[in-house]
Amino acid sequence: MSGRTDKNVHAIGQVFHKDISKVWSNRLDELQKILNRKIPNSIKIQNLAETSSKFHARFSAKKRTYRYIFSGESSNPFSEKFISSIDLKNFDLQKAKIGIELFKGIHDFKNFSKEGSEPKSTIREIYETRAYQYRSFYVFKFSGNSFLRSQVRFMVATIIKFAKNELSENDIFQMLERNRKICFKPAPANGLYLWKIQY
């Protein structure tokens, strides 16, 4: 797998690799149909392709993109699994655009990871960020080399608090410098999407 996701997080662009018999080399379309009949309806294999023996779905990835989709409207049974419903009183999208930019670059994201996860390094690089509105929804986009467990959800929660004037730029810098701990929960999992993996 190209990356692990928390429970209730979605993956549109998930990639996995598997060694299989050469018998299937010229029958990948057939194999895809067979596998899609076997797996749960909530999962769908969109494409199968033969790769180099050196390819690794996780370690060969150069760039990962996540999107977080949320709304200030009350949740309904049709969207609650896919869009986070968040209290957006005093939320300012223009401030969110400023806040999300603070995460670009190379930072130590130890404070933005879930306790209990102990990677060798908590240094990560964020290449691109974007905050925008699409119809009645808001979207935060993050692209980076890799992400810590729950990192995106903690960044989202932080940006929303900044956009509601509950945190300052200095507060965020202090968190990134590990001089201040995060004392709030990450954003709900249901709004997060692993959107794309690039190799």
Q: What is the mean pLDDT of residues 24-41?
A: 94
Is residue 107 one of the residues assigned to a domain? yes
> Hey, what's the torsion of the CAs at 180, 186, 191, 193, to 10 degrees?
60
119-154 residue pLDDT tens: 789 999 999 999 999 999 999 999 999 999 999 999
Q: What is the mean pLDDT of residues 151-160?
A: 98
H helices present in 68-195, as ranges = 93-101, 151-163, 169-176
Is residue 5 one of the residues assigned to a domain? no
82-128 residue pLDDT tens: 999 999 999 999 999 999 999 999 999 999 998 766 678 999 999 99
Is residue 83 one of the residues assigned to a domain? yes
How many domains does the chain divide into?
A: 1
Q: How much is the pLDDT for 77?
A: 81
Question: What CATH number corresponds to the domain at position 107?
Answer: 3.30.70.660
Is residue 48 one of the residues assigned to a domain? no
Question: Is the confidence at residue 67, as pLDDT, over 70?
Answer: yes
Is residue 160 one of the residues assigned to a domain? yes
Give the mean pLDDT of the chain: 93
Question: Is the confidence at residue 47, as pLDDT, over 90?
Answer: yes
Map residue 64 onto helix, strand or coil: strand
Q: Which helix (H) or strand (E) holds 87?
A: none
* Residues composing the chain: 199
Amino acid identity of 122?
Answer: T
Is residue 192 one of the residues assigned to a domain? yes
CA distance 118 to 35: 34
Q: How much is the pLDDT for 153?
A: 98
Picking from 9-18, 72-81, 126-135, which range would have the lowest pLDDT averaged per residue? 72-81
Is residue 126 one of the residues assigned to a domain? yes
CA distance 157 to 153: 6
Candidate list 6, 87, 92, 171, residue with the active-site label: 6
Q: How many CB atoms lie within 10 A of CB 144?
A: 22
Q: Using pLDDT thresholds of 50, 70 and 90, give the confidence band for residue 73.
A: confident
Q: How much is the pLDDT for 80?
A: 87
Half-sphere exposure at residue 11, Cβ-oriented, CA atoms within 13 angstroms: 17
The range of the structural domain enclosing residue 142 comes to 63-198
Q: How much is the pLDDT for 117?
A: 65
- Closest of 174, 52, 51 to residue 111, by C-alpha: 174
Is residue 56 one of the residues assigned to a domain? no
> Is 87 one of the annotated active-site residues of the chain?
no
